[in-house]
Amino acid sequence: MNWRGIWAIYKFELHRFRRTLWTGLAVPVITTSLYFIVFGAAIGSQMTEISGIPYGAFIVPGLMMLSLFTESIFNASFGIHMPRFTGTIYEILSAPLSAFETVLGYVGAAATKAMLVALVIFGTAHLFVPVQVLHPGLMLLYLALVALSFCMFGFIVGIWAKGFEQLQVIPLLIVTPLTFLGGAFYSIDMLAEPWRTITLFNPVVYLINGFRWTFFGTADVSFGAALAATLAFAGVCLAGIWWIFRTGYRLKA
């Protein structure tokens, strides 16, 4: 393993994040506060509890996941798209790094930042509501797993995209709607049929509920189903990356 090479990419990417550290952290703090003011105060006063959990606490895992998804995709896709765009990718491609090592550097850094943002949101939420985490270790592991999966997905988006505007398309047009419709801010049990059953086809439902389960020990789907869905998503992304390096798709002429 070329650990130094992986570490070089990882450090480079984190350094890039550090240049925009303050905006990078201010944005999640402000959005989280806004969510609490709008959802917590305005809606929460109508809807005090969901499955026995105070509404304010109930939306915390959903808020964290929403940011984790978009941050992961954006950071990872930008991280690999930028060198493709400027041409500095030549150095990565000519280095003694395997595909796995290259991905580990980029995805590891993007996942680190995404997790940091999610934890900042968690901290901000604490200013508004008390939140207990039932399984903190599992919560962190699950957070890492989802972050890695979405960063791999973002890496694929960054390779696939032909321009910077396409980097925005997937998070904005697919992931954010799926998250809002996937029970980030409500329990899908509150939906009438057929919407409840249709919603079960939304993979994001499983990711959010799996994460919520680590907080409260209860969720709309079983933890096993959630974990299986998350692992399946990670597997699909891994296969996609394997295929990219195998064929050189948009990476090597």
Partner 1 sequence: MSDPILSIRGLRKAYASGTEALKALDLDIQRGEIFALLGPNGAGKTTMISIVCGIVRATDGTVLIDGKHWRQNYRETRRRIGLVPQELTMDVFEPLMSTVSFSRELFGLKPDPARIEQILRDLSLWDKRKSILKELSGGMKRRVMIAKALAHEPDILFLDEPTAGVDVELRKDMWNLVRRLREQGVTVILTTHYIEEAEEMADRVGVINRGELILVEEKHALMQKLGRKILHLQLTEPLQAVPPSLADWHPQLSDDGATLTYEFDAKAERTGIPSLLAAMRDAGIAFKDLDTKQSSLEDIFVDLIHNGRKEAAD
Question: Interface residues with partner 1 (CB under 8 A)?
Answer: 2-5, 7-9, 11-12, 15, 19, 86-88, 90-97, 248, 252-253
* Cβ–Cβ under 8 Å, residues 80 and 164: no
Provide the β-strand partners of residue 56: none
Q: Of the two residues 180 and 245, which places its CB atom closer to partner 1 in the complex?
A: 245
Q: Of the two residues 139 and 159, which places its CB atom closer to partner 1 in the complex?
A: 159
Q: Of the two residues 126 and 250, which places its CB atom closer to partner 1 in the complex?
A: 250
**Least distance in angstroms from the C-beta of 113 to partner 1:** 17
Provide the β-strand partners of residue 49: 54
* CB-side neighbour CA atoms (13 Å) of 96: 4
**Least distance in angstroms from the C-beta of 67 to partner 1:** 25
**Least distance in angstroms from the C-beta of 3 to partner 1:** 8
Nearest-Å Rg of the Cα atoms of the chain is 19
**Least distance in angstroms from the C-beta of 82 to partner 1:** 8
What's the start-to-end Cα distance of the chain, in Å? 26
Q: Of the two residues 19 and 193, which places its CB atom closer to partner 1 in the complex?
A: 19
* Cβ–Cβ under 8 Å, residues 6 and 104: yes
CA distances from 125 to 27, 36, 117, 202 (A): 14, 8, 12, 26
Q: Of the two residues 160 and 180, which places its CB atom closer to partner 1 in the complex?
A: 160
Count of residues for the chain?
A: 253
Q: Of the two residues 6 and 111, which places its CB atom closer to partner 1 in the complex?
A: 6
* Two tokens, residue 243: 């295929």
**Least distance in angstroms from the C-beta of 144 to partner 1:** 25
**Least distance in angstroms from the C-beta of 217 to partner 1:** 44
What is the rounded CA–CA span in Å between residue 224 and residue 221? 8
